[in-house]
Amino acid sequence: MSQSQHRIAVIGLGYVGLPLAVEFARKYPVIGFDINAGRIAELQQHSDNTLEVTSDALKEVIVGGAPDGKGLLCSNKLEDMASCNIYIVTVPTPVDKHNRPDLTPLYKASETVGKVLSKGDIVVYESTVYPGVTEDECVPVLEKVSGLKYNVDFFGGYSPERINPGDKQHTVTKIKKVTSGSNDEIAEVVDKLYSSIIVAGTHKASSIKVAEAAKVIENAQRDINIAFVNELAKIFNRMNIDTHDVLEAAGTKWNFLKFKPGLVGGHCIGVDPYYLAQKAQEVGYNPEIILAGRRMNDGMGGYIANEIVKLMIKRDITVKNAKVLMLGITFKENCPDVRNTKVVDIYKELLSYDINVTVYDPWANPEEVKHEYHINTTNTLPEGEKYDAVVLAVAHEEFISQDWKQHLKPGGLIYDVKGCLEKSVVDQRL
């Protein structure tokens, strides 16, 4: 299959799929498929509520009809994908309430692709999974629905996403991409496909399972490192030592890894280690360090809330019915994504003390937060209100230069979860 013959379908137009579809559409005919009709309508109006792709970029590539040349057609109609010969699946891979991998979106996407799969087609998965999911879980669905045989009639690949939501420097084409294929010939086709748009280059892994494993350990490694500094923060707080000062001093050594304490949420670092842990347990190994890191990081929201309450008590602030202003609800700064945000854990723990919490986040969609977490939020700072405490939970750029003392009652306090405010104006940092 020559590159001039590529007709690409990207299944799932979220934080991962849309930027990828836009970049491919600059060189190839692309169908962007999503089951959410509202999302398709929004994109057809050149608007992206994830804020990953600009309106101008969408106007450049989106076309009105099925593309016969390069360009992007956004659709929720299965028949629009029927002429494609490369399918790239970018649906999310969450965990359930028991932190077990939920492969439902992958199964459903595989069923969808299977309905339009033809001989010679290639299906590439980008969703983060544990090693073996592509070939052991997804391929059988493709075979069953399509009636075609893997590596005979159709082929597979895996190229893990490396999107960093909210990061306008490390965009999809500027991050080196791992690629793989179900045989040597297909691996070369997949690698050349991504090489045609990824200016940072590609790395062709030796197998699909190697590529899957590489992705899942990227985030597990970060999770463990953050868990380590979170544990340090708990230790140093008991010793009345500023953790950020310690990390700044230690960071002067050339090989010291510069991680900061904090909340670990979102759909990658806070989720992916559970996928690796699940597979490890299936093969008879109990992953002690990975799960210990997860326990540490999952408990940080409650820990922070209790530190805030202890500080209020020391200040003789009446805890019951106290007023707290929470700055931020998204899982990371300068990004509207609220999936798996651990700020919610701080909020819920403060509520358990009968504290009145106002959540202000100019980036988050209040309707989405209400739907996901049953929490009322506001995009505008309430005027004239004074609070017993201000808690900076997310380092949005709008928060960093503000004078938050003016919003405090006499004797009120500022707690900086992110360590991004001037030390002189903060009463305590994590």
Which pLDDT score is estimated for 127?
94
Per the listing, tokens 């490390």 go with: 170
pLDDT band at 262 (very low <50, low <70, confident <90, very high): very high
φ, ψ dihedrals at 278, nearest 5°? -60, -45
Q: Among residues 74, 84, 138, 268, which one is catalytic?
A: 268
- Does the structure show a pLDDT above 60 at 146? yes
More confident residue, 268 or 321: 321
Burial class (CB in 10 A: 0-12, 13-18, 19+), 365: middle
Please determine, for residue 142, whether its predicted confidence score (pLDDT) is greater than 60: yes
Is residue 134 within 8 Å of 208, Cβ to Cβ?
yes
Distance CA 11, CA 89 (A): 5
Cβ-contact 269, 223 below 8 angstroms: yes
Q: In the sheet where 8-11 sits, what is the strand order? A: 71-75, 29-33, 8-11, 86-89, 122-125, 155-158
Distance CA 381, CA 375 (A): 16
The mean of the pLDDT values for the chain is: 93
Single-letter code of the amino acid located at 356: N
CB 222 within 8 A of CB 269: yes
DSSP at 171: -
Report pLDDT for 170: 74
First CA to last CA distance, the chain:
54
Structure confidence at residue 4 as a pLDDT band (50, 70, 90): low
Q: Which amino acid is at 167?
A: D
The continuous run of DSSP H or E covering 64 comes out as none
pLDDT digits (tens, 9 = 90+) for 97-135: 888 889 999 999 999 999 999 999 999 999 999 999 999
Q: How confident is the model at residue 3 (pLDDT cuts 50, 70, 90)?
A: low
- Give the pLDDT of residue 1: 60
Structure tokens at 418: 């992110």
What is the pLDDT averaged over residues 207-221? 95
Q: Which of 24-33, 204-213, 252-261, 262-271 is the least confident region?
A: 262-271
Q: For 148-158, what is each residue's pLDDT tens digit? A: 999 999 999 99
Q: Summarize pLDDT for 157-185 with one digit per residue, the tens.
A: 999 998 777 767 778 888 999 999 999 99
Task: Kindly state the percentage of the chain with pLDDT values over 70.
Answer: 97
403 is written with which tokens?
Answer: 């004078």
Mean pLDDT of 347-354: 97
Q: Span 322-342, mean pLDDT?
A: 94
For residue 66, pLDDT over 60 is answered with no
CA 43/CA 211 separation, integer angstroms: 31
Identify the three-state secondary structure at position 415.
strand
| pLDDT, tens only, 273-299 | 999 999 999 999 999 999 999 999 999
Average of pLDDT values for 134-145? 97
What's the length of the chain? 430
Neighbouring CB atoms inside 10 A of 227's CB total 25
pLDDT at residue number 5: 84
- Name the strand (E) or helix (H) holding 25: helix 17-25
Known catalytic residue: 268? yes
- For position 363, what pLDDT does the model report? 95
Sheet bearing 323-327, strands edge to edge: 377-378, 356-360, 323-327, 387-392, 408-416, 428-429
> Would you state the pLDDT for residue 67?
54
Over residues 67-83, the pLDDT tens digits come to 567 899 999 999 999 99
The phi-psi region of residue 425 (left if phi > 0; otherwise alpha if psi is between -120 and 50; otherwise beta) is alpha
Q: Measured between alpha carbons, how far is 223 from 310 in angstroms, rounded to an integer?
A: 27
| Both tokens assigned to 201 | 């280059």
